Structure 1
Amino acid sequence: MRLATWNVNSVRQRAARLLPWLDERRPDVVCLQETKLADDAFDTLLGEELADRGYAVARHGEPRWNGVALLSRVGLENTVYGLPDGPGFPHAEARAVSATCAGIRVHCVYVPNGREVDSDHYRYKLAWLDALRNSLDDGNTVVAGDLNIAPTDADLFDPARFVDSTHVTPAERDALHALGLVDVVRERWPEERVFSYWDYRAGMFHQDLGMRIDLVLATADVAARTAAAWVDRKARKGAGPSDHAPVIVDLDTAPDGDIGPVVPPPSAPRRR
């Protein structure tokens, strides 16, 4: 199984990139975040194209903001829309959808940003993560998406730039670790420079000044099946990209081989 997660930052703006990417990489299960479309609009835009490619779709969206979608060519069973018992801000937001895909319970999530430390948004983020933890099963589970947390300082291009900011606070990292899951990419590449998000500001992407906040987390039984785990940096290049790149995890077999943590490598990486 090839599983991928991608914050597309508006599926309407990214459709012309998403569909060719699906044809090129041929993932079996795809978690999309920040679709920014109501469900009917998502179906109108992509329903026929995805069906032609063999994908069943579980989408949970809202106009303009948030939105997640789970695409699968290996089945969608027992689909749950939203986060059970999750907090709202003040109302529930479209940030989670889960289903069983070929025996694995896949949770596609878009964790709240948090905005400023100790703000109402920040407390909402921590409460949301706690509700996510309570919703997880014990075995054969994957949580994939934009977690809006850099697990360690190694996942930042310059940790000093993020002092007193969200995404890196002890409380956020503790909440992430409390999920009790294996960080599949970091487990496979413990010492490598790996990012999945780069600000749109000029030069950030090409200098590889990024963060790793798009994660694939798995129970140990699923993580043990990993044959390859990598960031598809190529999808961040060119005209009109998302500010995030897809993260791809191959289970059991690796169609492209164990090709390294980032494909292709940064064009002008900044070294620590």
Structure 2
Amino acid sequence: MNQYRIATWNVNSIKVRLPHLLQWLEQQSAKNQPIDIIGLQELKLTEDKFPFDEIEKAGYYSIVSGQKTYNGVAILVRKEALSLVTQDRETAFLDFQKNIPGFEDEQQRLIAATIHLKNIQPLRFICGYFPNGQAVGSDKFSYKLKWLEALQSYLHAQLLQHSRLLLVGDYNIAPKDEDVHDPAKWIGQNLVSDDERKYFFQMEEMGLIDSYRLFDQIPKSFSWWDYRMMGFRRNAGLRIDHILISPALKEKAALCAIDKTPRTWEQPSDHAPVIITINQ
């Protein structure tokens, strides 16, 4: 059975982490498990500075919504995985959209496109870099909640239009205590507060499915570790990077996993990629 592999990764600066991205994509292909679509977050550069050429040489087309110094998101699709009718960059990403319609925001945090891969029905792919929030009660936290509220309306409309949808990205929300290395230490804090988790559960109530939890996972599996205080070495992490899928994709999902390997490399991102495998 043919399968497709789709990933999300907060690279925490594409300029710094481009060698890691290219190395990781090459390693996956060398294992005969190429990544067919990947959503990237926290690019930290404008579109004109994005390494389109280097990534295309590696076999991928890209679309970008960038911002100087902060934020920024991108979608990459493997050229060889595209259907015959979408063989160029202009047609690889259909119904391309930046940010949440109707929500005024200078920060570049959301990008969406419809992608046609070989031998499967089109996928609506939404990549988001959710606001961090900084601290409960702060102005940034208030912005985060407003952004999440706007996202709910957008997702509801998207699900009405697209039955095969993936929402990937750095959500900056650890949905349950099992997604936190020390729940007692984190009670009421940013990233785990009830106000934030409420929106994650609302997305599930809307029909979106946390694909990672469809499969048996090793306890204390996380996707982010603080650079400070040897967070990765101590596995003091959080699972805040997610791939939510629509019900039409649930039976097609074969596996979802976190790949910690790039987090072990020199000068890594503080996040690890999350990968879902989908059957045709």
Per the shorter chain, which TM-score range?
0.7 to 0.9
State which of 32, 37, 43 in structure 2 corresponds to 1:35.
Answer: 43
| Aligned counterpart, 2:86 | none
CA distance in 2, matches of 1:190, 1:205: 18
**Structure 1, unaligned stretches of length 5 or more?**
254-272
Secondary structure of the residue that 1:178 maps to in structure 2?
helix
Per the TM alignment, residue 190 of structure 1 is displaced from its structure 2 partner at its CA by: 6.1
1:84 is matched with: 101
Instruction: Quote the offset at 1:21 in angstroms.
Output: 0.8
- Partner residue, 2:65: 60
What is the RMSD of the two structures over their aligned residues, measured on CA atoms?
Answer: 1.4
Matches for 1:228-243 after TM superposition, within 5 Å: 228-243=255-270
Partners of 1:168 and 1:97 in 2: how far apart? 25
Rounded to whole Å, the distance in 1 between the matches of 2:276 and 2:167 is: 12
CA contact (8 A) 1:87 1:127 kept: no
Q: Does 1:100 align with 2:114?
A: yes
Give the distance between the partners of 1:129 and 1:7, measured in 2 at CA: 19
**Separation of aligned partners in 2, 1:120 and 1:85:** 21
Contact 2:22 2:58 in 1 (8 A): no
Cα separation, 2, equivalents of 1:159 and 1:212: 12
**Alignment-mate amino acid for residue 94 of structure 1:** Q
Q: Is the contact made by 1:87 and 1:124 (CA closer than 8 Å) also made in structure 2? A: no
Picking from 1, 5, 8, the partner of 2:8 is 5
Structure 2 length-normalised TM: 0.85
Residue 87 of structure 1 deviates from its aligned partner by: 4.4
Q: Which residue of 2 aligns with 1:157?
A: 181
Q: Which residue of 1 aligns with 2:85?
A: none
2-structure distance, mates of 1:247, 1:191: 14
Q: Which amino acid aligns with 1:67?
A: G
Q: How many residues align?
A: 247
Give the deviation of 1:177 after TM superposition.
1.5
Question: Does the CA contact (< 8 Å) of 1:68 and 1:94 recur in 2?
Answer: yes
Distance apart, 1:202 and its partner CA: 3.7
Structure 1 residue 123 and structure 2 residue 168: aligned?
A: no
Specify which structure has the higher proportion of helix: 2
Equivalence for 1:15 = 18
Paired AA for residue 44 in structure 2: K
Cα distance, 1:221–1:192 mapped onto 2, change above 3 Å? farther
Partners in 2 of 1:54 and 1:14 — Cα distance? Answer: 18
| Partner AA of 1:12 in structure 2 | K
Deviation readout 1:221-252 (Å, 9 max, x if unpaired): 11321111110101110211000000010101
How big is the shift at 1:132? 1.4
SS of residue matched to 1:98: strand
**Identical-pair percentage:** 37
- Find the partner of 2:76 among 68, 71, 80: 71
Q: Give the distance between the partners of 1:58 and 1:166, measured in 2 at CA.
A: 31
Kindly indicate whether the alpha-carbon contact (under 8 Å) linking 1:196 and 1:244 is maintained by their aligned counterparts in 2.
yes
Moved over 3 A (4+): none
Checking the alignment, whether the CA contact within 8 Å between 2:133 and 2:190 is kept in structure 1 is yes
Structure 2 CA distance for aligned equivalents of residues 85 and 189 of structure 1: 39
* Change over 3 Å in CA distance of 1:76–1:62 after alignment to 2: same
Deviation at 1:191, TM superposition (A): 6.8
**Equivalent position amino acid for 2:170 in 1:** D
Aligned match for 2:190, one of 162, 166, 169: 166
Provide structure 2 residue ranges, at least 5 long, that are not aligned to the other structure: 29-33, 83-91, 117-121
Output the TM-score relative to the length of structure 1: 0.87
